[in-house]
Amino acid sequence: MNHVYLARGWVMKLTGYVLEGQTISVRPAPLERAWMDATPNRFAYRCLPLNIANCHGWEVLCRRRLAAVWDGGVGPEAIQVSCDGDSMAVSHFGSGVLTFHVPVLFRTEPGHDIFVTGPLNRPKDGIAPLTGVIETDWAPYTFTMNWLFTRPGHPVVFEVDEPVCHFFPVARGALEAVCPAFEAIQQDGDLNSSYRRWARERDAFNDGLKQGDPDMARAGWQKAYFRGHMPDGQHGAGDHRSKLRLRAFTVGQGELVRESE
């Protein structure tokens, strides 16, 4: 594989070939979510797994505001789409599926696919994103991003610069190489000891919050995982991450990529 090795790992090439006469708006997926902002004291951002997942890939943005409604029928005519200009979305497959055309042919390095899904941790009322995995290291084909209506008669709106697609590369065959197994936690003495210590401290912390303990209230939440620490305060993985910042797509010749506002 044509990897460029750096001090902390390697960089993998991912190229998007924009189709002739087309433009696309793509950005690294951001951390922020409106529903997380609305939680008391923004406490949802204390969940590091959520934060990392939010930023885990790139988003394709809606170029124009569009509205769509499904009447519950099976045929393509059961979905009506209205848009301020040319629409990215059409009713193509029927069965309540709204299809977004992505005018890019992606190329990954050998042995890598692209995982395509809806915007992560962004629930949308009345419609749900579908997910696909595409072999993008050889196929000269584009893909579509599809959403499935979950309620007939409910208008769904995609605003300008709202993400409609989320994607990231994955190594082909990685899952088939996994050998999953269950064991009783007592079989790993060190792991069991660390887990039991964490569980005791978690329960004590939560009890302290309920009882109004000032130290617990001041701390607000336990930060061991966020900081990459074991229950005894020692460092966990050397490559622990509390932030994820992806590179933006660079632009070659022509006006291919529209910057989001």
Same domain, 27 and 83: yes
Residue 87 covered by a domain: yes
- Give the pLDDT score at 193: 96
Q: Please report, as a single letter, which amino acid is at residue 27.
A: R
How far is Cα of residue 103 from the mean position of the Cα atoms in its chain? 20
Instruction: Determine the Cα–Cα distance for residues 102 and 22; give it in Å rounded to an integer.
Output: 10
**Pairing state of beta strands 104-107 and 15-18?**
antiparallel
Q: Residue ranges of the alpha helices (H) in 152-244?
A: 189-210, 214-219, 224-227
Same domain, 103 and 189: no
If one counts the domains in the chain, the total is: 2
- Give the pLDDT score at 33: 97
Same domain, 221 and 136: no
- Give the pLDDT score at 258: 52
Same domain, 88 and 197: no
Same domain, 62 and 121: yes
pLDDT along the chain (261 residues), means of 10: 47 94 96 97 95 98 96 97 92 96 97 98 98 97 97 97 98 96 96 95 88 83 90 91 93 56 39
Same domain, 158 and 190: no
- Give the pLDDT score at 260: 46
Residue 210 covered by a domain: yes
- Give the pLDDT score at 216: 80
Write out the E strands in 87-209: 89-94, 97-101, 104-107, 112-117, 127-129, 132-134, 144-149, 156-158, 163-171
DSSP assignment, residue 21?
T
Same domain, 150 and 196: no
How far is Cα of residue 17 from the mean position of the Cα atoms in its chain? 22
Instruction: Determine the Cα–Cα distance for residues 189 and 237; give it in Å rounded to an integer.
Output: 19
Same domain, 109 and 39: yes
- Give the pLDDT score at 3: 45
Residue 62 covered by a domain: yes
Residue 197 covered by a domain: yes
Instruction: Determine the Cα–Cα distance for residues 61 and 25; give it in Å rounded to an integer.
Output: 5
CATH number at residue 113: 2.70.40.10
Same domain, 155 and 214: no
Q: Please report, as a single letter, which amino acid is at residue 111.
A: G
Residue 244 covered by a domain: no
Q: Element (H or E) spanning 53, and its range?
A: helix 48-54
Instruction: Determine the Cα–Cα distance for residues 17 and 142; give it in Å rounded to an integer.
Output: 10
- Give the pLDDT score at 259: 44
- Give the pLDDT score at 137: 97
The DSSP secondary structure of 25-47, one letter per residue, reads: -EEEPPS--HHHHTSGGGGGGG-
Structural domain harbouring 209: 185-227
Cβ-contact 148, 43 below 8 angstroms? no
Same domain, 103 and 8: yes
Same domain, 189 and 166: no
- Give the pLDDT score at 63: 94
Residue 251 covered by a domain: no
Query: What are the phi and psi torsion angles at 152 (to 5°)?
Result: -70, 150
Residue 248 covered by a domain: no
Same domain, 30 and 85: yes
Instruction: Determine the Cα–Cα distance for residues 230 and 191; give it in Å rounded to an integer.
Output: 10
Residue 252 covered by a domain: no
Q: What's the order of all strands across the beta sheet hosting 132-134?
A: 26-28, 58-61, 163-171, 112-117, 132-134
- Give the pLDDT score at 29: 98
